[in-house]
Amino acid sequence: MGIAQKVGRNFSDAVRARGQSYFSKGRVSLMSAKPNEVVARVRGTTKYRVRARLRGARLLATCSCPYFGPLGEPCKHLWATLLLADSRGFLQSPPNMAVRLVAEPPRRPGAPAQPPGGGPAPAVDASDLLMDDRPRPAPPPYDGPVALNPDYGRDVIIGAPRPPQGPAQRPARGRNAKERNKAARARDPRHGERPHAPGHGHGQPGPEGAPAGWTPTTAREARAARNKARREAAARGEAAGGPAGAKAVNRNAKRLLVYVLDVAATLAHNQVVIDLARRQRKPTGEWGPLRPWWYAPKAAHVKYDPEDRLLLALLDEAHHGVPTLTAGVAAEMAGAGGAAAAANGHGPDPAPRDRPGGRRNPASELRGTRRFILRKDHAALVERLARSGRLRLRRTDGEDEPPTMRWDDGQPWRFTLDVRTEAGGKRWAWRGGLRRGDARMDLAEPLVLLPGLLVLGVGRAARFDDLGVMDWIVRLRYEKEISFVEPQQDLMLGRILAQARVPAPELVDTMPLEEIAAKPRPSLTLRTPRQNWGLAADKLLAELEFDYDGAVIPAGRTTPLAVSTELGLVIRRDPKTESAADVKLFELGFREAKDPRLDPNTLELPAKRMDAVTKELVLAGWRIEAEGKLIRPAGEFKLALSTGIDWFDLDGGVDYGGQSVSLPDLLSAARRGETMIELGDGSMGMLPEEWLKKYGLLADLGAAENGALRFNASQAGLLDALLENQPEIQIDEAFSKVRQNLRQFQGVVPLDAPPGFHGELRAYQREGLGWLDYLQRFGFGGILADDMGLGKTIQVLALLQRRRFRRQAKGPTLAVVPRSLVFNWLSEAEKFTPRLRVLDYTGPGRHPLRAEFEQYDLIVTTYGTMRTDIAELVEIEFDYVILDEAQAIKNAESQSSKAVRLLKSRHRLAISGTPIENHIGELWSLLEFLNPGMLGSDTVFKRYAGSSNVEGEDRGMLAKALRPFILRRTKSEVVKDLPDKTEATLYCDMEAEQKRTYDELRVHYRDALLKKDSDELNRSKIEVLEALLRLRQAACHPGLIDAELNSSPSAKLDMLLPSLAEVVEEGHKVLVFSQFTSFLSIVRERLDQEKMTYEYLDGRTRNRAAKVDRFQNDPDCPIFLISLKAGGLGLNLTAAEYVYLLDPWWNPAVEAQAIDRSHRIGQTQHVFAYRLICRNTVEEKILELQQKKRDLADAILNADNRMISGLTREDLEFLLS
């Protein structure tokens, strides 16, 4: 892996692309090269020098270009150099070693620079400054001086100068050499005077025979010196650190502590650097020269005056980032004495010091700190030091007597930007300056210019306000002048103004600028394949811009402000609107163009999507230009409805900015599938999609004739509903009278249950009965589409009982239902309308019953029987033909759909909880059965056939048109009339194959068990339980007895799967419980075949929580299959509104536990629980037995041996009968 690949993540895509171009074109040449270091020259706008050095796991790099500049941004010149180094085998590192890119400055940062040869800097190509103008992570808030790079700062800012190490330097030979060494030691901080205790340090007594001024160099010598000092102190009756120490401090009063601001070090670190020095008073009373001094917080024997203690504590905290000696402690020491305070634990922080980030080095606790790098509060500290009168300014190295610094109490100096145009407006030059009131100062004049602080060479310091653009200030000091060509000026000015904390006039006072906020209008220019200069012909190129009241801003710029110097405007951009436009384009299929010859902000789109994209964007208010032609949206419509002999005509047109197009032309273009129509002025007009959405259904219902849409007189009611609340349509007087007659109807009146109806109708059911009566009186057919579980069958039975009681019925009613619902219809009729004479017209013995139809009020049959007997049934005229689960005829071409339309009746009714399962076109078949001819031909809804939803105005118009013919109430609408939980039993009838399997088992166990006497039977508890278990399994599915029968029919599955489909279609969630995991496995296979999403949980499931969470929160997972043992307890499944018990456990408490997985605290919806029972099986008999012997039923389910002993021969005979 080469060096470029290892550090490539630091470079943006655009920078790498341009660097690759430079490398490929041979613009890079090596000036010098070593295995771990290369220096190259790169030819860009001018020639730039690049150096890269590999130091272990760091690559130190610098470039002289303005983009790299003082901020250390990786540039294209550096990338091109790394590519060249890779190609030549330089800068190689071990394959597994990660390399970190660290920027180092091309020259000392913060110092003003004069371009070579003087004069203004040459114009700079903005591509050298903005290599990648795409969004980047926001930089951290500025707090402190500008470093070249976050990594660079950590590498070059050292916590403190190196401490004295080892013995003194070897003296130079000769007298002059000695003097030079003496002067060097005076300048070298490592040879400065150090704080010392008696008996330890310069000039202190050493071991016996040591010369004066001896300094210990080994641990043994140091211990000897300390021991000698203790012996001398003891001889005087003093302890080290006691009075003798105090005397030492008193002697220290002859010294003066001085603080020196080092300009060179400050510029190198880009942070204020304060050195400590001291003066020794000479015997003559004069102060001696400055000598370096180390501050050691733990050196308690050294006494400072109160002001110094406080200043040193503040400096130490600013240097380390954490307090070493707080101001409060310093004040305490000032009052109680430094030694006492230190002895009581108020000394330095025991954490490591002299490391970045506040970490402290134990070794430096003893040797002290001579140099403080102020990482925070530098301006306040410099002001305090200057006011103390002991702050000096060292302007150059070796300056023996630096001048005293004074603090300027005036207002802060502020940065100002001078923007001027040159070369006839084709070139712009920026210069920086400083301003305070009427005073002006060149930006290069201060020796030090840091955030909040300005230091002049005359020894004055003042506050400085950088206005939030410190990085630009550093660059202007470095380059003196920045120049831009005219197109780049606005971009760069917008960038600096966005960064500034003040309005534009306060930063730029050389040109008038007005700041505005406007709503942008997206503008997209499309270039078709013929204009793509040989690029792929299947692509469109697009450029996005934003129009702010005439100021057009290209997309891709990241600054919050944009500038138009031509208009004198500073535009505060609307990033939310711009971002939404960018997201919109990507949603429509636009992607970044990959061709390197194109602008990085160029987008591309498959050419085949041009019509769809332009249509959507024009209608959204965008300005779109394609093939050099402006695309116009549709304007005002003019429509009129007139009445003929037995028809109605709708005519009109649309305006496109003065260009008019007639309604027939629009409809003709729409039927051809076109999206645009050419206008008279050569521009293109978008077909009015809003009009098509609003009146598309109307256009489908009418027939185009003589330039208008024509409707039959029988469609007056539908036409009235479609045109309701459409004031833009002019209606003639004749149609107004038709509309008035239709609206004289007062609406649906709720009706009470008729005499002979057993039970009570809830409020919504009484309203439903009134609606059914309304359909009957007006001769309409309708769809009762209430939610599952709201009693649709009961409402229909109440209608039939009402007609029977009022003697309105003219013959029998035929109810066509799925096979699984035949028994429910019969049982419901017996329960609620026992006076209705009901006939079960199913099975092989049904044929003779046709002669008896007139003797019955209600005839119940199946869809299969109806299809088989249609030739005979069409000869009978029924009072009502009712279709339950009427979605069975949704396919207009199916045999069932064709057959039911042949049946003769005075009234027709459809019952369906899901009249629309897949698409709106399914309604045509139902409504054609209910009201033949009302919707015309079967092509009316073809344009909806591919969509599961109707969008926009069509939804509202369709609802208005069909409102009289469809009644639908959801449980949420009528929940106040429903109990919190509804439980019901659904009966299933086994088909011949399943019934045969069940009967064989029943006979086998009956013969095996009932031949035993009572004593043997009592000893055969396991056999009895096995028999009941096998019979219950056979009632569920034959596959539970024999796995080879998994594909055999099952009455429960035949009822369960359509019910699940209906409930899921209505948007509900379902729990399906069974104690047989093998049955759940069969259900899973069927759900997989139906492509229905579900979750599954049994005793072997490990990730229970994840499965519960998915079912609870994923709207696309509507079904949860659960075994009783695994999920009967402890689960919160309140997302479910329906519970199905496939093999009910007869213990009511266990049933309640399963149902309560959904019906519990947190459930906001009504819960419906259904037990599935196979008729004429052990399930039905146990259900009956449960009422007589509940304990017996518990024992059968739970295998409770204590209760099974109560099973008698009579009970067993009953169960096996």
Helix (H, G, I), strand (E, B) or coil at 43: strand
Instruction: Say yes or no: 322 and 339 in one domain.
Output: yes
- Do residues 766 and 752 make contact, with C-beta atoms less than 8 angstroms apart? yes
Instruction: Say yes or no: 849 and 928 in one domain.
Output: yes
Q: What per-residue confidence (pLDDT) applies to 592?
A: 86
pLDDT in tens, 337-368: 333 333 333 333 333 333 344 444 443 444 57
Instruction: Say yes or no: 922 and 830 in one domain.
Output: yes
State CA 866 to chain mean position distance: 55
The DSSP H or E segment spanning 820 is none
SS (H, E, C) 352-400: CCCCHHHCCCHHHHHHCECEEECCCCHHHHHHHHHHHCCEEEECCCCCC
Residue predicted with more confidence, 165 or 265: 265
Q: What per-residue confidence (pLDDT) applies to 192?
A: 39
Instruction: Say yes or no: 401 and 412 in one domain.
Output: no
Paired tokens of 589: 């299929």
Burial of 646 (0-12, 13-18, 19+ CB in 10 A): exposed
- Mean pLDDT is lowest, of 562-566, 639-643, 743-747, for 743-747
User: Residues 718-744: what's their mean pLDDT?
Assistant: 73
pLDDT interval class at 331 (50, 70, 90) = very low
Residue predicted with more confidence, 300 or 576: 576
| Residue 770 counted as domain residue | yes
**Domain span at 122:** 3-156
| Residue 618 counted as domain residue | yes
| Residue 783 counted as domain residue | yes
Among the listed residues 170, 161, 163, the one whose alpha carbon sits nearest the alpha carbon of residue 194: 163
**262 beta partners:** 394
Pairwise CA distance, residues 533 & 539, whole Å = 12
User: Residues 149-169: what's their mean pLDDT?
Assistant: 34
> Residue 936: is its pLDDT beyond 70?
no
Instruction: Say yes or no: 562 and 645 in one domain.
Output: no
> Residue 140: is its pLDDT beyond 80?
no
Among the listed residues 76, 85, 89, 36, the one whose alpha carbon sits nearest the alpha carbon of residue 60: 36
pLDDT in tens, 243-274: 333 333 334 448 889 999 999 999 988 899 99
pLDDT interval class at 104 (50, 70, 90) = confident
Single residue among 458, 473, 507 that ends a domain in this structure: 507
Pairwise CA distance, residues 36 & 51, whole Å = 11
Instruction: Say yes or no: 198 and 318 in one domain.
Output: yes
> Residue 714: is its pLDDT beyond 90?
no
| Residue 748 counted as domain residue | no
| Residue 213 counted as domain residue | no
Paired tokens of 363: 């070794």
- Give the list of residues 6+ apart from residue 1144 with CB closer than 8 angstroms, or none: 1151, 1171, 1172, 1173, 1179, 1183
**648 beta partners:** 643, 711
Instruction: Say yes or no: 582 and 652 in one domain.
Output: no
Please provide the distance, in angstroms rounded to a whole number, between the alpha carbons at the two ends of the chain.
83
> Residue 174: is its pLDDT beyond 60?
no
Among the listed residues 776, 747, 771, 775, the one whose alpha carbon sits nearest the alpha carbon of residue 761: 771
> Residue 452: is its pLDDT beyond 70?
yes
Select, from the ranges 807-816, 886-895, 1146-1155, 1194-1203, the one with the highest average predicted confidence (pLDDT): 807-816
Specify the pairing of strand 569-572 against strand 291-292: unpaired
Among the listed residues 1158, 1171, 1154, 1156, the one whose alpha carbon sits nearest the alpha carbon of residue 1111: 1158
Instruction: Say yes or no: 1064 and 1037 in one domain.
Output: yes
Q: What per-residue confidence (pLDDT) applies to 461?
A: 94
Instruction: Say yes or no: 414 and 494 in one domain.
Output: yes
User: Residues 117-144: what's their mean pLDDT?
Assistant: 38
Radius of gyration, alpha carbons of the chain:
47
Among the listed residues 430, 446, 513, 501, the one whose alpha carbon sits nearest the alpha carbon of residue 470: 501
Tell me the average pLDDT of the chain: 75
- What is the number of structural domains in the chain? 7
pLDDT in tens, 607-624: 888 878 888 888 788 888
Residue 1066: which CATH number? 3.40.50.300
Specify the pairing of strand 521-527 against strand 623-626: parallel
The DSSP H or E segment spanning 969 is none
Instruction: Say yes or no: 1000 and 1145 in one domain.
Output: yes
| Residue 299 counted as domain residue | yes
Pairwise CA distance, residues 1035 & 1144, whole Å = 11
Q: What is the DSSP code string of 736-769?
A: HHHHHHHTT-------PPPTT--S---HHHHHHH
pLDDT interval class at 735 (50, 70, 90) = confident
Paired tokens of 1076: 């047989």
Single residue among 507, 522, 546 that ends a domain in this structure: 507
> Residue 703: is its pLDDT beyond 90?
no
Helix (H, G, I), strand (E, B) or coil at 90: coil
Residue predicted with more confidence, 915 or 163: 915
Decide: pTM greater than 0.95.
no
Instruction: Say yes or no: 807 and 922 in one domain.
Output: yes
Q: Count H helices, E strands: the chain? A: 44, 49
Single residue among 627, 661, 676 that ends a domain in this structure: 627
For 1200, phi then psi, to 5°, come to -80, 105
Q: What per-residue confidence (pLDDT) applies to 349?
A: 34
- Do residues 1204 and 1194 make contact, with C-beta atoms less than 8 angstroms apart? no
Q: What per-residue confidence (pLDDT) applies to 351?
A: 33
| Residue 834 counted as domain residue | yes
- Do residues 926 and 891 make contact, with C-beta atoms less than 8 angstroms apart? no
Helix (H, G, I), strand (E, B) or coil at 312: helix
Q: What per-residue confidence (pLDDT) applies to 343?
A: 30
> Residue 126: is its pLDDT beyond 60?
no
Instruction: Say yes or no: 913 and 1022 in one domain.
Output: no
Pairwise CA distance, residues 819 & 219, whole Å = 105
- Do residues 1203 and 1190 make contact, with C-beta atoms less than 8 angstroms apart? no
Handedness of CA 113, 116, 122, 127 (dihedral sign): negative
User: Residues 84-105: what's their mean pLDDT?
Assistant: 85
| Residue 227 counted as domain residue | no
> Residue 40: is its pLDDT beyond 90?
yes
Percent of the chain with pLDDT over 90: 23
**569 beta partners:** 514, 564
The DSSP H or E segment spanning 1213 is helix 1209-1215
Q: What per-residue confidence (pLDDT) applies to 1181?
A: 77
> Residue 173: is its pLDDT beyond 70?
no
Say which amino acid occupies 88.
R
